[in-house]
């Protein structure tokens, strides 16, 4: 099995950088259903562009390359111990090459192992089968969407939907509720895998197995097939939209599986996956270790440009120009006056220096000084993929992370350091909104997962602090130009996120009445 490690390496690179054909088609269907001139339409255009950039650059589609999870079927008699060693080696190499972000963090000390290895990471499931090939599949599911997974124990009382019993009706309500509670925070438009039954562990496992199904397959169980179709259609009426901006496209795929349960338990487990639905697989020759075939059609043949974009390049230029005219340039450091002139819906373009900061930094800044003056500064909720060579650090991928995690800290930190803008995704809560109003600051929503798109706006890495927090959590000082984002929370008390959340809660109630009786 000389080639096995190389084959696993190729599988990792392909998974991280080239979104497969079925996922691309689903995103394209979403684009066709959304009005291109809306905020959600704009977000989908950026997503489409980012998918092609990642493929061309052979760089991560999203900076969060997730929890590498391998599912391997091996012929009887294959040496799984050797395979595991090769998988580890391939993971280390892919991390060194910037195809995976170092994502394995000690839960007690916070120390990043730096190479994606550590207790419990990567995840590898082996299973024997009576076939000649090795079937190895990989999913890279990021942390933001993982945080939106949810498990229901029936019977339950669900917000907006009322009683959910131990039947298809109850299951239906749980799944709709799962999409609703994710809002835009898991980088909608998303895909969901649902596991009905099992125990708390196997229920989630079943849900994640569903994510390995082809998006266009048809469930062999007619009840579940109907439910899948119903959910896809109904979830898209919730009005959450891409990135939670509101709109027609909230869900791109729904796959449901069922297994037996204990008499006392009835779990419905939902695994939420962002649009950056990265999974691939290969059939491998058990003697040579070479790849015989890919298990999911490659995305390379599927263009992410709409027909009109391909045809009308002149019109596109005009559109671009118009968009440029509407944009507001924010040069850092930003004044309070400039911030006060902004309102929800404005598109801004940032020029100058911004500083990354996420969980570790926010906690630290609560009771420490900042390493530099942050008056008028922009904080970017981002954990980039970075590589170092003789010339210094380079950004390989740098999209936003879910901002709501910083809700306990953000308001205090804004005021303490005089920060004027926070960039992230998914929005923040009432405490931050109040601080934005009191202090004069804005929240800017960038497009989650568009890691190549934003990396291109970063012109220089000016420096870094807190490397001891690990690459994703360090405070990177980045020189940017043309970094576009949308004001979704302003300094006058308005929040697009609060509006969409309220509207979708009202829409959810429309699904209260029985459907499958
Ligand atoms: O960790 C990250 O970079 C992003 C994360 O996947 C998120 O969605 O918040
Ligand atoms: S940032 Fe968004 S696209 Fe990237 S892993 Fe997190 S949820 Fe997925």
For residues 37-66, give the mean pLDDT. Answer: 97
Q: How far apart are the C-alpha atoms of 260 and 199, rounded to whole Å? A: 9
Task: Report in angstroms the alpha-carbon separations of 185 from 179, 239, 282, 387, 392.
Answer: 11, 14, 31, 28, 33
For the CA of 145, the closest atom of ligand 1 is 8
Between 143 and 316, the more confident residue is 143
311 contact partners, CB below 8 Å, separation of at least 6? none
Percent of the chain clearing pLDDT 90 (strictly above): 95
What is the token pair recorded at 171? 């299951």
| Residue 426 Cα to ligand 2 middle (Å) | 11
Task: Name the closest ligand to CA 103.
Answer: 1
Q: Which residues line ligand 1 (CB under 6 A)?
A: 63-64, 142-144, 187, 383, 401-402, 448
Buried b (16+ CB within 10 A) or exposed e, 339-348: beebebebbb
- Residue to mutate, 275, 448, 451, ligand 2, most ligand atoms under 8 Å from C-beta: 448
Q: How far is the CA of 22 from the centre of ligand 1 (A)?
A: 23
31 three-class SS: helix
167 has pLDDT over 70: yes
Closest residue by Cα to atom 8, ligand 1, is 144
Centre of ligand 1 to C-alpha 264, Å, is 36
What pLDDT score does 1 carry? Answer: 84
If you search the block for the tokens 């930190």, which residue do you land on?
Answer: 413
- Upstream peptide bond of 394 is cis (omega within 30 degrees of 0): no
Q: Is the pLDDT of residue 407 over 90?
A: yes
Phi/psi class of residue 154: alpha, beta or left (left: φ > 0; alpha: ψ in -120 to 50)? beta
Lowest mean pLDDT among 65-74, 315-324, 404-413, 427-436: 315-324
- For tokens 């429309």, name the residue: 510
**DSSP3 helix / strand / coil % (the chain, rounded to 5):** 40, 25, 35
* Ligand 2 contact, 399 CB (< 6 A): yes
The answer to whether residues 386 and 471 touch, using CB atoms and an 8 Å cutoff, is yes
- Answer whether the bond into residue 189 is a cis peptide, omega within 30°: yes
Q: Kindly give the distance from the C-alpha atom of residue 502 to the centroid of ligand 2, in angstroms, as a whole number.
A: 24
Q: Are 15 and 7 in contact (CB under 8 A)?
A: no
Given this model, what pLDDT does residue 348 score? Answer: 97
- Structure confidence at residue 320 as a pLDDT band (50, 70, 90): low
Q: Are 452 and 506 in contact (CB under 8 A)?
A: no
Given this model, what pLDDT does residue 332 score?
98
Q: What is the dihedral of CA 339, 342, 348, 349, to 10 degrees?
A: -30
> Strand, coil or helix: what is 189?
coil
Residue 396's alpha-carbon distances to 4, 60, 62, 385, 420, in angstroms, are 27, 8, 10, 5, 27
Q: How do 347-356 and 328-331 pair as beta strands?
A: parallel
Q: What are phi and psi of 429, to 5 degrees?
A: -100, -165
Answer for the pair 94, 13: CB distance below 8 angstroms, yes or no. Answer: yes
Torsions phi, psi for 155 (to 5 deg)? -75, 155
Pocket perturbation via mutation, ligand 1, pick of 16, 62, 67 by most ligand atoms within 8 A of CB: 62
Q: Is 472 in the pocket of ligand 2 (CB under 6 A)?
A: no
Question: Over 80: is that where the pLDDT of 313 sits?
Answer: no
- DSSP per-residue string spanning 251-294: EEEEEEEE----TT--EEEEEEE-S--EEEEEEE-TTT--EEEE
d(CA 190, CA 386): 27
Q: Which residue has the tokens 């119903």?
A: 230
pLDDT digits (tens, 9 = 90+) for 201-249: 999 999 999 999 999 999 999 999 999 999 999 999 999 999 999 999 9
Residue 191 tokens read as: 């895909």
Q: For ligand 2, say whether the CB of 186 is within 6 Å of any of its atoms.
A: yes
Cα separation, 20 vs 25, whole angstroms: 9
Q: Which protein residue's CA is at the shortest distance from atom 3 of ligand 1?
A: 64
Could you read off the pLDDT of 81-133 as tens digits, one per residue? 999 999 999 999 999 999 999 999 999 999 999 999 999 999 999 999 999 99
Q: Determine the average pLDDT of the residues in 478-488.
A: 97
Share of the chain above pLDDT 70, in %: 97
Q: Cα of 418 to ligand 1 centre, how many Å?
A: 26
Contact criterion met (CB below 8 Å) for 447 and 456: no
What is the Å distance from ligand 1's center to 510 Cα? 32
Cβ–Cβ < 8 Å for 67, 122:
yes
Query: What does DSSP say about strands 458-465 and 475-489: parallel, antiparallel, or unpaired?
Result: antiparallel
C-alpha to C-alpha distance for 238 and 504, rounded to whole angstroms: 5
Residue 231, SS3?
A: helix
Which of 47, 69, 449, 450 has most ligand 2 atoms within 8 Å of CB, for mutation?
449
The answer, yes or no, to whether residue 430 has pLDDT greater than 80, is yes
In short, whether 365's Cβ falls inside 6 Å of ligand 2 is: no
C-alpha 145 to ligand 1 mean position (Å):
8
| Nearest atom of ligand 2 to the alpha carbon of 400 | 1
pLDDT at 279: 98
- What is the number of other CB atoms lying within 10 angstroms of the CB of residue 294? 15
Q: How far is the CA of 157 from the centre of ligand 1 (A)?
A: 30
In angstroms, the CA 424 to CA 339 distance is: 17
Res 307: pLDDT:
73
Count of beta carbons in the 10 Å neighbourhood of residue 331: 12
C-alpha distances out from residue 411 to 132, 178, 370, 485, 494, Å:
58, 28, 16, 20, 15
- Which of ligand 2's atoms lies nearest the C-alpha of 65? 5
Left if phi > 0, otherwise alpha if psi is -120 to 50, otherwise beta: which for 175? alpha
Determine if ligand 2 sits within 6 Å of the CB of residue 429. Answer: no
pLDDT, tens only, 457-474:
999 999 999 999 999 999
273 forms beta bridges with 191
- Does position 314 have pLDDT exceeding 70, yes or no? no
Of 51, 100, 143, 425, the one to substitute when testing ligand 2's pocket (max ligand atoms within 8 A of C-beta) is 143
Q: CB of 289 closer than 6 A to ligand 2?
A: no
Ligand 2 pocket, residue 184 CB under 6 Å = no
**pLDDT of 321-369, one tens digit each?**
556 667 899 999 999 999 999 999 999 999 999 999 999 999 999 999 9
Residue reference for tokens 């995704």: 425
Ligand 2 atom nearest the C-alpha of 64 is 5
Say what the pLDDT of residue 308 is: 73
Query: What pLDDT score was predicted for residue 322?
Result: 57
Quick one: which ligand is closest to 186's CA? 2
- The per-residue pLDDT for range 241-257, each reduced to its tens digit, is 999 999 999 999 999 99
- What's the chain's average pLDDT? 96
**Ligand 2 center to 271 CA (angstroms):** 14
| Cα-to-chain-centroid distance, residue 199 | 27
Query: Taking CA 377 as the corner, what is the angle to CA 376 and CA 380, rounded to the nearest 5 degrees?
Result: 150
- Residue 161 is encoded by which pair of tokens? 């939907």
Q: Which ligand 1 atom lies nearest to the CA of residue 142?
A: 6
Residue with tokens 């012929």: 75
Cα(168) to centroid(ligand 2), Å: 31
Ligand nearest to the CA of 43: 2
Q: What's residue 517's pLDDT? A: 81
CATH number of this structure's domain 327-501: 3.20.130.10
Distance 247 CA to ligand 2 centre (A): 19
517/124: higher pLDDT? 124
In the prediction, which pLDDT does 324 show? 63
For residues 181-200, one letter each, b for 16 or more C-beta atoms within 10 angstroms of the residue's C-beta and e for the rest, the string is bbbbbbbbbbbbbbbbbbee
């Amino acid at each position: 099995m000389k080639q096995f490690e190389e084959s696993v390496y190729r599988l990792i690179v392909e998974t991280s950088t080239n979104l497969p054909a079925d996922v691309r088609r689903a995103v394209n269907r979403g684009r066709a259903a959304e009005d291109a001139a809306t905020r959600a339409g704009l977000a989908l255009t950026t997503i489409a562009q980012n998918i092609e950039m990642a493929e061309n650059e052979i760089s991560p589609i999203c900076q969060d390359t997730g929890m590498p999870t391998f599912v391997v079927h091996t012929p009887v008699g294959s040496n799984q111990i050797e395979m595991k060693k090769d998988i580890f080696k391939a993971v280390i190499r892919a991390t060194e090459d910037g195809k995976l972000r170092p994502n394995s963090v000690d839960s007690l000390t916070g120390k990043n192992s730096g190479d994606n290895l550590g207790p419990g990471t990567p995840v590898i499931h082996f299973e024997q089968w009576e076939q000649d090939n090795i079937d190895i599949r990989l999913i890279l599911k990021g942390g933001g969407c993982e945080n939106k997974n949810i498990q229901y124990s029936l019977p339950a009382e669900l917000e907006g939907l009322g009683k959910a019993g131990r039947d298809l009706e109850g299951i239906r309500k749980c799944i709709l509720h799962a999409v609703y509670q994710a809002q835009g925070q898991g980088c909608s438009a998303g895909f969901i895998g649902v596991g009905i039954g099992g125990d708390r562990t196997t229920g989630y496992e079943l849900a994640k197995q569903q994510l390995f199904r082809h998006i266009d397959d048809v469930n062999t169980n007619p009840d579940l097939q109907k439910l899948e179709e119903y959910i896809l259609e109904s979830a898209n009426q919730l009005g959450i939209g891409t990135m939670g901006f509101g709109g027609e496209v909230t869900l791109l795929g729904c796959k449901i599986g069922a297994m037996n349960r204990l008499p006392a338990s009835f779990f419905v487990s939902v695994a939420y996956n962002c649009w950056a639905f990265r999974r691939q697989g290969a059939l491998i020759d058990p003697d040579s270790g070479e790849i015989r075939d890919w298990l999911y059609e490659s995305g390379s043949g599927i263009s992410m440009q709409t027909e009109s974009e391909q045809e009308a390049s002149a019109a596109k230029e005009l559109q671009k120009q118009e968009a440029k005219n509407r944009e507001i340039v924010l040069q850092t450091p930003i004044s309070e006056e400039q911030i006060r002139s902004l309102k929800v819906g404005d598109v801004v373009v940032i020029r100058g220096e911004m500083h990354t900061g996420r969980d570790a930094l926010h906690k630290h800044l609560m009771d420490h000084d900042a390493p530099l003056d942050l008056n008028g500064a922009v904080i970017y909720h981002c954990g980039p993929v970075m590589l170092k060579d003789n010339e210094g650090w380079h950004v390989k991928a740098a999209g936003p992370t879910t901002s709501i995690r910083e809700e306990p800290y953000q308001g205090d930190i804004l005021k303490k350091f005089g920060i004027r803008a926070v960039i992230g995704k998914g929005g923040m809560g009432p405490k931050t909104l109040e601080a934005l109003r009191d202090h004069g600051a804005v929240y800017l929503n960038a497009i989650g997962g568009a890691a190549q798109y934003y990396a291109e706006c970063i012109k220089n890495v000016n420096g870094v602090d807190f490397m001891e927090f690990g690459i994703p959590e360090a405070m990177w000082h980045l020189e940017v130009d043309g970094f576009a984002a949308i004001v979704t929370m302003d300094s006058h008390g308005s929040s697009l996120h609060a509006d969409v959340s309220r509207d979708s809660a009202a829409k959810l109630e429309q699904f209260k009445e029985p459907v499958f009786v």
